[in-house]
Amino acid sequence: MSKRSLPKSKSKSASPSQPGWVKLALALTLVPLVAGIVFIILWAIDVYLWPDPLAQALIGVLFILFSFAANNALQRKWIAAGGWGLLSLADLLLLTTLDLRLQIPAIVAGFAGAGLLLFEVVRTMAKMAQENKS
């Protein structure tokens, strides 16, 4: 029986080690994520922490979006952090005001944020494909 050698994976250049405070801050970004999920679950099962039930869902979504933005910013992924931040701003403006003068820029901010996130995903996928070819 012949032995087949598996292709050796090329060692990726090790990124510089993150300082302890960055690792702690990255772990702490899970707190608003979990809180947001809990708020939304409680809202879905009709357990309200605020007099306005919709406020609970809005706060949950904002916590989740803030968590994503903070996590990407701490990892120095500025485009993704900006995308999540713009989506947070759009969500806040769209769901808290009925003024059309604020909702139109919020829609534009939401599309810009989604565009930034799409750009970052495509760029990352292209980078991964390029690394696999090499």
Residue 13 lies in a domain: no
Is position 67 within any domain?
Answer: yes
Domain presence at residue 125: yes
Burial 18-51 (b: 16+ CB within 10 A, else e): eeeeeeeeeeebeebbebbeebbebbeeeeeeee
Q: Which domain holds residue 61?
A: 21-133
Kindly give the confidence (pLDDT) of every residue in the chain, 134 residues in length, as a single tens digit, with 9 standing for 90 and above: 555 655 554 544 445 687 888 889 989 999 999 999 999 999 999 999 888 888 888 899 999 999 999 999 999 999 999 999 999 999 999 888 888 899 999 999 999 999 999 999 999 999 999 999 87
Question: Tokens in use for 6?
Answer: 């598996």
This prediction has a pTM of 0.77
For residue 52, tell me if it sits in a domain: yes
Q: Is residue 11 part of a domain?
A: no
Q: Dihedral sign, CA of 30, 31, 36, 39?
A: positive
d(CA 79, CA 57): 26
Total tally of structural domains belonging to the chain = 1
